[in-house]
């Protein structure tokens, strides 16, 4: 009888060979970190700098930060005097970006010097947009959604995209005489968390909730950043389909704490104060088609995997490697070109006794 070793035993035989790796446990050489995610629609942009040690991040204040567009100095970023929960130092500047611009950021302080370059990707025109009202039942509960269908033509060659479907809110609060309280007027831009895209086979890259099944979910099919490649639609017309629930309103605030709200002005206001006032919210629903370069696409996909699995060990998934395009340190500089369409506007008023989500 011929003797054979079952194939299933081979992985265990291979696993018997290993190499010991020593991991340092003390902070050694600090590494500067530069991170920025920018686009062509925002007037003001933010760059985050920090110092990475083995066990923690430290702020990076007092740096000289310069921004060049097509080799010409466009701005010198100004440090923001505000504590950051992730121990980063923020620097802001104003500049306009156009498709094809080469943007370079340079930051230096003492012995540290970091830089990064990104090219603004081409714009993607939206050919048509259509909306309809649908009612969806999930886990026994029904909710009204707006279904948005967007048609566009794929850019020539290999291309990478993303979508955002959210809204811009303007909140106004009124005193007992019906006069607007100016310092309470706030603007909110919830772009994430309210959009469903997993069932669209192009955005989910073929592994959505309606097609991928439980095994896809195990492999991390959820697309948190709603980015995708043009593999299934190369050089063709494409229609994307996403859902948005635009009917939920939440009390506006930058940060919450205890029994108070911190407004964008920095003022702390008790819950009871805001809830006792009449208010009006004006909402504009907006769809954004994002044009990415390949490096940005890889970076967002890596972040997606990292947020899906964290530091857990999963034998079905390869370890996550975060791409970096920063010279002299770590981090990532990304620039997107956005095409935005406003497809619905409406407003709602609340009296002092009516309930607002918070």
Give the separation between CA 223 and CA 205, rounded to whole angstroms.
Answer: 9
Highest mean pLDDT among 9-18, 307-316, 336-345: 336-345
Of 198 and 35, the one with more pLDDT? 35
Distance CA 216, CA 110 (A): 48
Say what the pLDDT of residue 265 is: 66
According to DSSP, residue 308 is labeled: H
Cβ density class 4-28: b for 16+ within 10 Å, e for less = eeeeeeeeeeeeeeeeeeeeeeeee
* pLDDT tens for each residue of 156-177: 999 999 998 888 888 888 988 9
> Of the ranges 13-17, 39-43, 119-123, 350-354, which one carries the lowest mean pLDDT score?
13-17
pLDDT of residue 82: 83
Q: In the predicted model, what is the mean pLDDT of residues 129-135? A: 89
Q: What whole-number distance in Å separates Cα of residue 97 and Cα of residue 42?
A: 9
Per-residue pLDDT reduced to its tens digit, 176-233: 899 998 888 877 765 544 566 666 778 877 655 433 334 444 444 567 788 999 998 9
SS3 70: coil
- Of 17-26, 303-312, 331-340, the one with minimum mean pLDDT is 17-26
Distance CA 208, CA 201 (A): 6
Round to whole Å and give the CA distance between 162 and 295. 13
Q: What residues contact 111, with CB distance under 8 A and at least 6 apart? A: none
Q: Is the pTM of this model over 0.85?
A: no
Q: Which two tokens stand for residue 294?
A: 């390949």
Q: Which of 37-41, 52-56, 247-251, 335-339 has the lowest mean pLDDT?
A: 247-251
Tokens of 291: 């044009």
Which of these, 127, 123, 124, 130, lies nearest to 241 by C-alpha position? 130
Nearest C-alpha neighbor of 299 from the set 62, 37, 13, 6: 37
Query: Where in the chain are the domains?
Result: 31-119, 126-322+339-350
Q: Cβ(288)–Cβ(337) under 8 Å? A: no
Q: Which of 191, 154, 157, 182 shows the shortest CA–CA distance to 285?
A: 191
d(CA 103, CA 97): 8
Residue 177 makes CB contacts below 8 A (sequence gap 6+) with none
Residue tagged 């097609």 (tokens): 211
Phi and psi angles of residue 183, each rounded to the nearest 5 degrees, phi first: -70, -15
Whether residue 181 contacts residue 175, with contact meaning beta carbons closer than 8 Å, is answered with yes
Task: Write out the two tokens for 54.
Answer: 């083995």
Residue 28's SS3 state is: coil
- CATH superfamily to which 31-119 belongs: Immunoglobulins (2.60.40.10)
The three-class DSSP label of residue 198 is coil
Distance CA 186, CA 253 (A): 8
Q: Are 37 and 325 in contact (CB under 8 A)?
A: no
The torsion defined by the Cα of 73, 78, 83 and 88, in degrees rounded to 10, comes to: 20
Q: Could you report the per-residue pLDDT of 74-130, keeping only the tens digit for each?
A: 999 999 988 888 899 999 999 999 999 999 999 999 999 999 999 999 999 999 999
In angstroms, the first-to-last Cα distance of the chain is 74
Per-residue pLDDT tens over the stretch 266-320: 677 777 787 788 989 898 888 999 999 999 999 998 888 787 766 555 666 667 7
Q: If we measure between CA atoms, which residue out of 133, 152, 153, 156 comes closest to residue 144?
A: 133
Strand pairing of 31-39 and 330-350? parallel
Q: In the predicted model, is pLDDT for residue 47 greater than 80?
A: yes
Q: Kindly list the distances between the CA atom of residue 265 and the CA atoms of 91, 171, 195, 271, 276, in Å, as whole numbers in the listed order.
A: 19, 13, 28, 16, 20
Give the whole-angstrom CA distance, residue 274 versus residue 271.
6
């Amino acid at each position: 009888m011929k003797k054979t070793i079952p194939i299933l035993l081979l992985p265990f035989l291979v696993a018997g060979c290993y190499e010991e790796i020593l991991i340092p446990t003390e902070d050694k050489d600090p590494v500067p970190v530069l991170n920025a995610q920018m686009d062509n629609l925002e007037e003001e942009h933010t760059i985050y700098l920090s110092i990475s040690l083995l066990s923690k991040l430290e702020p990076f204040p007092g740096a000289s930060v310069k921004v060049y567009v097509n080799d010409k100095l466009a701005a010198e970023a100004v440090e923001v005097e505000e504590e950051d929960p992730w121990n980063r130092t923020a620097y802001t500047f104003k500049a306009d970006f156009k498709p094809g611009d080469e943007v370079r950021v340079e930051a230096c302080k003492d012995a540290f010097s970091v830089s990064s370059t990104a090219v603004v990707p081409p714009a993607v025109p939206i050919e048509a947009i259509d909306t309809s009202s649908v009612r969806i039942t999930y886990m026994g509960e029904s909710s009204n959604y707006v279904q948005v269908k967007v048609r566009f033509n794929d850019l020539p060659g290999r291309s990478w995209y993303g979508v955002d479907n959210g809204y811009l809110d303007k909140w106004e609060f009124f005193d007992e005489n019906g006069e607007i309280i100016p310092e309470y007027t706030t603007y909110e831009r919830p772009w994430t968390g309210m959009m469903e895209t997993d069932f669209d086979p192009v955005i989910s890259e073929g592994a959505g909730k309606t097609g991928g099944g439980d095994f896809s979910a195990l492999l991390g099919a959820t697309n948190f950043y709603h980015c995708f490649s043009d593999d299934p639609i190369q050089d063709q017309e494409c229609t994307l389909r996403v859902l948005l629930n635009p009917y939920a309103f939440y009390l506006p605030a930058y940060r919450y704490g205890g029994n108070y709200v911190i407004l964008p002005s920095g003022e702390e206001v008790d819950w009871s104060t805001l809830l006792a006032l009449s208010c009006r919210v004006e909402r504009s629903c907006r769809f954004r088609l994002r044009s990415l370069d390949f490096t940005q696409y890889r970076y967002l996909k890596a972040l997606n995997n990292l947020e899906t699995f964290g530091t857990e060990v999963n034998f079905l998934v390869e370890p996550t490697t975060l791409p970096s395009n920063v010279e002299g340190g770590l981090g990532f500089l990304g620039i997107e070109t956005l095409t935005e369409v406003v497809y619905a506007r409406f407003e709602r008023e609340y009296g002092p006794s009516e309930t607002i989500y918070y």
